[in-house]
Every structure is written in structure tokens, then in C-alpha cells.
Amino acid sequence: MIGVVIPVHNEEHYLRACLASIQVAALHPALATEEVRVMVVLDTCSDSSGRIVKALGMESIDIAVRNVGLARAAGALQLLEAGARWLAFTDADSVVSHAWLAAQLALEADAVCGTVAVDDWTQHGAQAEILRHRFDASYLDQDQHHHIHGANFGVSAAAYRQAGGFCGLECGEDVAMVQALIACGARISWSAAPRVTTSSRLHSRMHGGFGDTLRALIPDAAVGID
């Protein structure tokens, strides 16, 4: 069984598209008849995220810690106990490609670190082209990159257990996880094959997230834009 974990904190504007894309990825012919089980971790949600998950018929658990590392770990634990052999992780404001899971497994690694593409810069108006150009100039979207994104990460159950799982960090839990895997001697594929598109929002759910990375690309005179 393949498990997919999505941590969620008030993501009603993005969550439906994320989950719909995972439903498509779960039907990829390369996965044959293997079960794909999705676990949405609703962390202190006060919006309609839970109703969206229920409407799509997906599993969820509720926690109240406001901690993405603990949210990922809680979802992983549920799936490991259910017999998952592979864990794939993404974020609620991201959309995975139809071959996302198949591409991770095809790499035959202990863990896969994928890249992300930004879905739409136009919401940033006059700053959109500057942001896009600066991102493209600073981001390596090809094999042998060394980016680490919780929005595009996969790991075998055995390697995850050996590395000790996700730790309770509010940010940087994905980096800590990969560092632990490296320390264990895990075979990591740094690949651009598993495709994920993520939002261009500038305000992260936690300090230091991908939104803050994008925000740092804004010209100093325009820091106040939303």
C-alpha cells in the first residue's frame, strides 16, 4: 500500500484541487492495482477544510498542535500502522501531476526529493514578472538539484522508520528529515521527475515556509504588497 500525507491548517481555498489531483495520481496505470491511501491531517482547522475532505470521501485525523512536523508524523504513523510500504508527502496548496506517485516509485530509491513549480504569478500584479524572473534565476528545476520540499517528498517505510520519522518542528521538518536519512546512509534521488505545482502566495502558514522564500524575492520598495 502507498500512503499519502497532507498536513492542513485552514486551506479551504486550495484543498479541493490538491485532493482531486491525488485522486488522479492514485489511478496511474504504473501503480497497477496497488492501494493508495490518503491521510489528511487537519491541524487546528476552523474553516471548511474538514467538510471538503469528507465530501471527497477521504480519510482524515484531527490534531491541535499547529505544528507541521507533528502533523506529517501523525499522518505517517496512521499509514504505517495500516501497512504502507511507501509514504508520499505534499502540501494542501499544491497540485500533484498524474504521474507523481508513479515517478517517485520508478526511481527505486529509499527517498525522493522532488522540485516544485509555481502555479500562477499574476496575482502579484506589477511585481509578477519580477518575481517569476528572480525565482527562475535562483531555482534549479532539474535532476541533481538539492532542493527539499515537504510538498514533493517520498520515502520508503523502512527508511522513514530508520531515520526516526518527522520531528516536531514548526518549519524545516522536511530538511531535518532528509538530513536524518542521509545520516542513515539512505539512497536519495534528487529528481525533477515527480512534478508538483504549488501556490505563489507570499504568506506562509509558518515562519520560514515557501511563501517566505518567495517574499524574499520582492524588490525592497514593494515589500508591502500582498
Burial of 172 (0-12, 13-18, 19+ CB in 10 A): middle
Query: Is residue 74 within 8 Å of residue 61, measured between CB atoms?
Result: yes
Percent of the chain at pLDDT above 90? Answer: 77
Q: Is residue 9 part of a domain?
A: yes
Whole-number Å distance between alpha carbons of 7 and 60: 10
Q: Is residue 60 part of a domain?
A: yes
Residue 121 Cα distances to 86, 128, 157, 181, 200, angstroms: 33, 5, 36, 34, 6
Q: Is residue 72 part of a domain?
A: yes
1 C-beta neighbours (distance < 10 Å), count: 13
Least confident segment among 90-99, 121-130, 134-143, 182-191: 121-130
Does residue 226 register a pLDDT over 50? Answer: no
Q: Is residue 161 part of a domain?
A: yes
Label residue 213 by pLDDT band (50, 70, 90). low
Q: Is residue 65 part of a domain?
A: yes
Q: Is residue 73 part of a domain?
A: yes
Whole-number Å distance between alpha carbons of 35 and 57: 15
Determine the structural domain holding residue 90 and report its residue range: 2-218
| 20-33 per-position pLDDT tens digit | 999 999 999 999 99
Number of domains making up the chain: 1
Q: Is residue 223 part of a domain?
A: no
Beta bridge partners of 7: 41
Determine phi and psi for 154, rounding to 5 degrees: -140, 150
DSSP 175-199: HHHHHHHHHTT--EEE-S-S-EEE-
Q: Is residue 224 part of a domain?
A: no
Q: What is the CATH number of the domain that holds 191?
A: 3.90.550.10
Does residue 225 register a pLDDT over 50? Answer: no
Kindly report the pTM of this predicted structure: 0.90
Q: What angle do CA 169, 140, 205 make, to 5 degrees?
A: 30
